[in-house]
Amino acid sequence: MIGKMHNIKRILLVSPSASTSESNIDINPLPPMGMGYLAATLRQYGFTVKIIDSLRLGWSNRVVFRPGMLRIGISDEDMAREIEAFSPDLVGISNLFSKQFHNALSLAKLVKGTRPGTPVVVGGAHPTAAPEMVLDHKEFDFLVEGEGEIPLLKLVQFLNGKLQESELEAVWVNNRTTPLHYPRKSFVDFNDIPYPAFDLMNLEGYFGLYTAHGTRKNPRFMPIITSRGCPAKCTFCSAAKVWGRKFRARDIENVIEEMRILKNEYGIQELMFEDDNTTLDVRRAKKLFERMKEERFGFEWDTPNGVAAFALDEELLTLMKDVGCYKVNLAIESGNQEHLTKNIRKPLKLKSVPSLVKHCQAIGLDVSVFLVFGMPGETEAVIWESARFVASMGIYSPHISIATPYPGTELFEICRQKGYLVEDFSLDDLYIRGYSISTPELPPKKLRKIVNRVELWLLFQNLKNNPWQVLSHQLFRTARNPFRIVKFFARYGFSKT
Ligand code: B12
């Protein structure tokens, strides 16, 4: 069925270049944990693996490919040279973001043009959520859905004639008009997979970038993932497609050992917990942080992905602060309980939030919240309720995202069924400030104005309540970058409301 037998020994894992807007670069190189995990597993079974992160290697190579849009990464010529130099028997492409699918596709074309006949496997959140669409492109010979360590290993072993077809899982084979699908049978046991192959990830190349997934305090930072999976059913999230609904936590000692390696072998000073939900199991989280304290690692850390406010208590927050946490973002999404429960389906009781925020403020732990505006069912009044809710807690710069219909989410299905996707809907616009949904209550133009007004209102609330703090902060920032003032008026001053 799958064609000729291979003799795969050398595997190249590549993360493609990225497109981003010139005025708001919303992507940063970050050690690629997914490829690190895949590489470590493959290497354990004797394969020679190389990782190429085009974004990191070509971070200063910025090409305007359309007015206002940059492509960041190494050039096609350099990528072709890298591929030739390594001579892979198989190439794996990591495509996390729907927005970057076009770059994953052009990379696959480049591989086929450079080394015709080399099998190309694609994996990551986007192909997992939209396999049929991705498999329309025959440059991708295989697609691994979700957690990739075991499915990729099995695929390669199968291609080498070392495994039965019946053992394939979580993989699509794309050599027919209708792709063949082998569904997932299991998720990994964390004790069976190695730590990411840090030595293949060129960590030094990432250090010193202070704006990786939020602002970093230390040059030597590193993401870490202590669990996978989230049982919450928030309509805008596709995490369960990749990791499943069950919360699967690594053993605490397994995590502690990884931290020890990061500290002792790589001099890591700062950690970013990139779990979907680091504190979901509160008792486990407390044990983890207690152990970090005992070990006296001295890391500074945050949770850039946000933490679920329904999985926090004051004792846990104090412990987090004690053991190096300097910032928490509470993913509350809205200040209106009915909207949160009915339209977003987040299992959070908003009444628990103010005391948590107050506690953070009292212990000196920087706290903010994530809000999402423009979900179906939301009205302007609900948005203002959210604004008043956060301001009442003394939060004036919440992280506001515009509702985005990522493939694989319930939100996408709702929008498709109800005709809420904008007319010129494009994967390229799927990011937190892309306006891809148009509901009868909040068409994009109206929503954009409301968001601008809300941000301005919050700024004035802050000015009213903390005048000296705000003025000195703004003066300092304007002195460093006088063009801010022009940008400010372009955004708020001239927007007719
Ligand atoms: C870190 C991160 C970022 C970093 C990325 C840094 C970088 N340069 O890579 C930053 C902050 C820049 C970022 C930005 C954005 N992000 Co982000 N991000 C993440 C996050 C939290 C962690 C990624 C990670 O390390 N995961 C852990 C590793 C182990 O998993 P993994 O990489 O997915 O790999 C596994 C599998 O996917 C698979 N796999 C992956 N690659 C491959 C390749 C092959 C060949 C195979 C076989 C398998 C395979 O196997 C791996 C091991 O099991 C994920 C959520 C999550 N928990 O995964 C979101 C996530 C990837 N991000 C998401 C989004 C939406 C964005 C933004 C669009 C948000 C925005 N700002 O508007 C932007 C995109 C910016 C842009 N211009 O493109 C979505 C993607 C959804 C989608 N369909 O697009 C995710 C899934 C979050 C979510 N649940 O919605 N992000």
Alpha carbons 391 and 465: distance in angstroms, whole number = 10
Q: Which residues pair with 362 in a beta bridge?
A: none
CA atoms within 13 A on the CB side of 378: 35
Q: What is the DSSP string of 33-67?
A: HHHHHHHHHHHHTT-EEEEEEHHHHTTT-EEEEET
- Closest of 341, 361, 343, 342 to residue 351, by C-alpha: 341
- Ligand 1 pocket, residues with Cβ under 6 angstroms: 18, 20, 26-30, 32-34, 37-38, 55, 92-94, 96-100, 121-126, 129, 144, 147-149, 152, 213, 223, 225, 237-239, 242, 274, 276, 305, 406, 430-432
Q: Going by C-beta distance under 8 Å and a sequence separation of 6 or more, which residues neighbour residue 423?
A: none
Between 380 and 476, the more confident residue is 380
pLDDT at residue number 496: 43
Best residue among 50, 94, 97, 409 to mutate for probing ligand 1's pocket (most ligand atoms within 8 Å of CB) is 97
pLDDT at residue number 471: 84
Give me Rg for the CA atoms of the chain: 23
Alpha carbons 225 and 56: distance in angstroms, whole number = 20
The residue count of the chain comes to 497
pLDDT at residue number 491: 65
Amino acid at 356: L
Q: What is the DSSP string of 331-362?
A: EEE-S-HHHIIIII-----GGGHHHHHHHHHH
Helix (H) or strand (E) holding 81: helix 76-86
Atom of ligand 1 minimally distant from the CA of 100 = 78
Q: What is the CA(125)–ligand 1 centre distance, in A?
A: 6
User: Two tokens at 27?
Assistant: 């992507």
Q: Could you give the percent of the chain with pLDDT greater than 90?
A: 86
Position 3 confidence tier, pLDDT thresholds 50, 70, 90:
low
Best residue among 11, 69, 70, 96 to mutate for probing ligand 1's pocket (most ligand atoms within 8 Å of CB) is 96
Question: Among 152-161, 436-445, 474-483, which is the least confidently predicted range?
Answer: 474-483
Cβ neighbours, 10 Å, residue 337: 14
User: Two tokens at 378?
Assistant: 């939301």
Position 124 confidence tier, pLDDT thresholds 50, 70, 90:
very high
Beta-sheet strand order (sheet of 270-273): 221-224, 270-273, 300-302, 325-333, 366-373, 399-402
pLDDT at residue number 489: 66
pLDDT at residue number 474: 78
Alpha carbons 328 and 317: distance in angstroms, whole number = 9
Q: What is the CA(94)–ligand 1 centre distance, in A?
A: 9
pLDDT tens profile 300-315: 999 998 888 888 999 9
User: Two tokens at 42?
Assistant: 């493959």
Q: What is the mean pLDDT of the chain?
A: 94
- 400 alpha-carbon distance from chain centroid: 16
Mean pLDDT of 478-482: 76
Position 493 confidence tier, pLDDT thresholds 50, 70, 90:
low
Position 339 confidence tier, pLDDT thresholds 50, 70, 90:
very high
User: Two tokens at 399?
Assistant: 């992280």
Decide: 430 and 125 in contact? Cβ < 8 Å: no
pLDDT tens profile 56-86: 999 999 999 999 999 999 999 999 999 999 9
Q: What is the CA(460)–ligand 1 centre distance, in A?
A: 35
Q: Are strands 366-373 and 325-333 parallel, antiparallel or unpaired?
A: parallel
Question: Among 193-197, 209-213, 342-346, which is the least confidently predicted range?
Answer: 209-213
Alpha carbons 8 and 47: distance in angstroms, whole number = 8
Does residue 481 register a pLDDT over 80?
A: no
User: Two tokens at 471?
Assistant: 């003025």
Q: What is the DSSP string of 256-280?
A: HHHHHHHHHHH---EEEE--S-TTS
Helix and strand totals (H; E) in the chain: 18, 18
Decide: 143 and 241 in contact? Cβ < 8 Å: no
**How far, in Å, are 47, 75, 266, 282, 300 from residue 225 at the CA level?**
24, 31, 17, 16, 16
pLDDT at residue number 115: 96
pLDDT tens profile 201-234: 999 999 998 788 888 999 999 999 999 999 999 9
Q: Which residues pair with 331 in a beta bridge?
A: 370
Decide: 292 and 299 in contact? Cβ < 8 Å: yes
Atom of ligand 1 minimally distant from the CA of 275 = 57
Q: What is the DSSP string of 438-467?
A: --SS--HHHHHHHHHHHHHHHHHHHHHHSH
Atom of ligand 1 minimally distant from the CA of 196 = 29
Q: What is the CA(351)–ligand 1 centre distance, in A?
A: 31
**How far, in Å, are 37, 151, 159, 448 from residue 4 at the CA level?**
28, 19, 8, 54
pLDDT tens profile 361-391: 999 999 999 999 999 999 999 999 999 999 9
pLDDT at residue number 268: 98
Kindly give the interhelix angle for 314-322 and 353-363, rounded to the nearest 10 degrees: 30
Three-state secondary-structure class, residue 224: strand
Position 482 confidence tier, pLDDT thresholds 50, 70, 90:
confident
pLDDT tens profile 448-460: 999 999 999 999 9
Does residue 497 register a pLDDT over 50?
A: no
